C-alpha cells in the first residue's frame, strides 16, 4: 500500500553559468519525490525542469504544490505494486502536469523493481546496452572558454560529443562561434547545436545552411515548437539531421510529428513525455516511422538521470546517443555514490530499482526549508 508521498525542492549551484536562449542558469532546483510503501520499501522519482517557467509550463514550486495538494491524495492507500492502476487513475483525473506524473511513475516503478530485486530496466522490457555515450553541452557563450572546456573533456575521456547552446545572439555571430569550435576540434568530436526555438524560419534557413556547410552534425529545435510546418520544411530542405525537442510532449506529439515528416531525430525526455512508459511509446512511434533517437535531459540530478538511463538502455537503436550529463553540471550530489562516467559513457546502474541510493543526511541539509 502507498503510505506516504513526500516532495522536496533542492537548490544546487551549477559549476558555471549555463546559458540557453531561454534562461541563464547559475542554480538548478531539483524536484525529488519519495514514495513510502507499507512494506518498508521506498521509491524515488525526479521532476526537475529548467529555468523556473522559462522553459515550460511547470515550475519546481508548482510541481511540488500540485503533487502535495492534488495528486498524492489520489494515490494514498492504493496498492503500491499496481503501478499501472495508480498511473491510470492519475492520468484520468489530472490534466497536464507531465513532469509531476513522471516523478510519481518513476518512484512507483523504482519501488516495485526494488520489491522484485531487479533493475528498473527489467520492468521496461529489459536492457540491450549497459553503457550510454554522453554529450556535453558547451554553454558559456565564450568561444575560447568553450574550446578549452571541450579539449579538457576529450583529454579526460569524458565526452567526445558536444552540443552548443545558441540563439541568444544574431545568427551570424552564433554561426561564427559554432564553426570556430568545430574547426578547433576537427574530427576528434561530433559538434551539434541546440537553438531552443529561438530562430524564425528565415533565420533558420540562413543559419542551418552555414552550419551544414561547416560540418555540424545535428540541429535541435531551430524554430518554435508550435511551428511544425516550418520544422518539416527545414527537414526537407537540408541534409543535416533536424531534431524535435520542445515540440515533443509525449506519444501524441510523436505521432503528429511523424505524420508531418517534421524531424529526423526525436529527443526522448521522460519528463516531457509524462513518464517512463510514455517515453517508451515515443520511442516506438519513432521506430515505426523511421525516426532516430537521442536520450534527452532536463539537467536532472542523479535520480532523473538514472531513470532516463534505464529507459534508453532498452532502445534497440540509439543512433544519436544521449546528453545525460546533468549531475556533472552540479556542484553537489544527493546520492550516496554518484553515477559512473568513464570512457565517454554513462554506466547504467545495475542494482535493484534505479540502482542509486539517496544520502538522506545530505538531502535534508540541502533541501529548501
Residues 236 and 281 occupy one common structural domain: yes
Alpha-carbon separation of residue 123 from 115, 280, 322 (angstroms): 12, 12, 21
The pLDDT of residue 51 is 78
Q: Is 323 a catalytic residue?
A: yes
Q: How confident is the model at residue 85 (pLDDT cuts 50, 70, 90)?
A: very high
Question: Is residue 355 pLDDT above 90, yes or no?
Answer: yes
Provide DSSP, 273-330.
Answer: HTSHHHHHHHHHHHHHHT-EEEE------HHHHHHHHHHHTT-S--TT-B---GGGGB
Q: Distance (Å, rounded) from C-alpha 138 to C-alpha 166?
A: 10
The pLDDT of residue 19 is 72
Q: Is 212 a catalytic residue?
A: no
What is the CATH classification number for the domain harbouring 163?
3.20.20.120
Pairing relation of β-strands 24-37 and 2-19?
Answer: antiparallel
Mean pLDDT of 117-125: 98
Cβ proximity of 268 and 243 under 8 Å: no
Q: What is the dihedral of CA 348, 96, 100, 39, to 10 degrees?
A: -90
Q: Could you list the residue range(s) of the whole structural domain that residue 90 is in?
A: 2-117+358-366
Residues 98 and 143 occupy one common structural domain: no
Residues 311 and 288 occupy one common structural domain: yes
Question: Is residue 162 pLDDT above 90, yes or no?
Answer: yes
Residues 85 and 170 occupy one common structural domain: no
What are the tens digits of pLDDT across the range 221-243?
Answer: 999 999 999 999 999 999 999 99
Q: With 0-12 CB in 10 A as exposed, 13-18 as middle and 19+ as buried, what is 122?
A: middle
Q: How confident is the model at residue 287 (pLDDT cuts 50, 70, 90)?
A: very high
Residues 238 and 324 occupy one common structural domain: yes
Q: How large a percentage of the chain has pLDDT more than 70? A: 99
Given the residues 34, 101, 163, 165, the one annotated as active site? 165
Q: Count the domains in the chain.
A: 2
Residues 151 and 297 occupy one common structural domain: yes
Q: How confident is the model at residue 341 (pLDDT cuts 50, 70, 90)?
A: very high
Residues 113 and 200 occupy one common structural domain: no
Q: How confident is the model at residue 21 (pLDDT cuts 50, 70, 90)?
A: low
The pLDDT of residue 52 is 80
Q: Distance (Å, rounded) from C-alpha 256 to C-alpha 261?
A: 9
Residues 220 and 338 occupy one common structural domain: yes
Q: Is residue 47 part of a domain?
A: yes
Q: Is residue 275 part of a domain?
A: yes
Q: Is residue 240 part of a domain?
A: yes
Mean pLDDT of 294-322: 97
Pairing relation of β-strands 2-19 and 265-268?
Answer: unpaired
The pLDDT of residue 82 is 98
Residues 9 and 71 occupy one common structural domain: yes
Mean pLDDT of 202-209: 98
The pLDDT of residue 350 is 98
Q: Which three cell numbers stand for residue 153?
A: 573533456
Q: What is the pTM for the complete model shown?
A: 0.96
Sign of CA dihedral 241, 142, 339, 50: negative
Q: Is residue 309 part of a domain?
A: yes
Residue 163's nearest CA partner among 191, 187, 140 is 191
The pLDDT of residue 15 is 87
Given the residues 149, 220, 300, 323, the one annotated as active site? 323
Cβ proximity of 19 and 141 under 8 Å: yes
Q: Is residue 352 part of a domain?
A: no
Cβ proximity of 80 and 5 under 8 Å: no
Phi, psi of 116 (to 5 degrees): -90, -5
Q: Is residue 292 part of a domain?
A: yes
What are the tens digits of pLDDT across the range 125-157?
Answer: 999 999 999 999 998 889 999 999 999 999 999
Q: Is residue 63 part of a domain?
A: yes
Mean pLDDT of 14-20: 79
Residues 108 and 144 occupy one common structural domain: no
Residues 292 and 192 occupy one common structural domain: yes
Mean pLDDT of 334-348: 97
Residues 75 and 160 occupy one common structural domain: no
Q: Is residue 142 part of a domain?
A: yes
Amino acid at each position: 500500500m502507498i503510505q506516504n508521498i513526500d516532495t522536496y525542492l533542492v537548490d544546487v549551484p551549477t559549476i558555471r553559468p549555463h546559458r540557453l536562449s531561454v534562461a541563464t542558469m547559475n542554480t538548478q532546483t531539483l524536484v525529488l519525490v519519495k514514495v513510502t510503501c507499507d512494506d518498508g520499501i521506498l521509491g524515488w522519482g525526479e521532476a526537475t525542469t529548467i529555468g523556473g517557467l522559462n522553459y515550460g509550463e511547470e515550475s519546481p514550486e508548482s510541481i511540488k504544490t500540485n503533487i502535495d495538494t492534488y495528486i498524492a491524495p489520489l494515490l494514498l492507500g492504493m496498492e503500491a505494486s499496481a503501478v499501472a492502476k495508480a498511473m491510470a487513475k492519475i492520468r484520468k483525473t489530472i490534466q497536464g502536469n507531465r513532469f509531476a506524473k513522471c516523478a510519481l511513475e518513476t518512484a512507483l516503478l523504482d519501488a516495485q523493481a526494488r520489491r522484485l530485486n531487479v533493475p528498473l530496466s527489467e520492468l521496461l522490457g529489459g536492457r540491450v546496452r549497459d553503457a550510454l555515450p554522453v554529450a556535453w553541452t558547451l554553454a558559456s557563450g565564450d568561444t575560447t572558454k568553450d574550446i578549452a572546456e571541450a579539449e579538457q573533456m576529450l583529454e579526460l575521456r569524458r565526452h567526445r560529443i558536444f552540443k552548443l547552446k545558441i540563439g541568444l545572439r544574431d545568427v551570424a555571430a552564433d554561426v561564427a562561434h559554432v564553426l570556430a569550435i568545430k574547426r578547433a576540434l576537427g574530427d576528434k568530436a561530433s559538434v551539434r547545436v541546440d537553438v531552443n526555438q529561438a530562430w524564425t524560419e528565415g533565420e533558420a534557413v540562413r543559419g542551418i545552411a552555414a552550419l551544414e556547410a561547416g560540418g555540424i552534425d545535428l540541429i535541435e529545435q531551430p524554430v518554435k515548437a508550435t511551428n511544425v510546418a516550418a520544422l518539416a520544411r527545414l527537414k526537407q530542405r537540408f541534409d543535416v539531421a533536424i531534431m524535435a525537442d520542445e515540440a515533443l510532449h509525449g506519444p501524441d506529439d510523436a505521432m503528429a510529428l511523424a505524420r508531418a515528416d517534421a524531424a529526423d531525430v526525436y529527443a526522448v525526455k521522460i519528463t516531457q513525455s509524462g513518464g517512463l512508459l510514455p517515453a517508451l511509446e515515443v520511442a516506438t512511434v519513432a521506430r515505426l516511422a523511421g525516426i532516430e533517437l537521442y536520450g534527452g535531459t532536463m539537467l536532472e540530478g542523479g535520480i532523473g538521470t538514472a531513470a532516463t538511463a534505464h529507459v534508453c538502455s532498452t532502445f534497440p537503436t540509439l543512433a544519436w546517443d544521449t546528453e545525460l550529463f546533468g549531475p556533472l553540471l552540479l556542484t553537489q550530489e544527493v546520492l550516496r555514490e554518484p553515477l559512473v562516467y568513464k570512457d565517454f559513457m554513462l554506466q547504467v546502474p545495475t542494482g535493484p530499482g534505479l540502482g542509486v541510493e539517496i544520502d538522506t543526511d545530505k538531502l535534508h541539509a540541502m533541501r529548501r526549508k
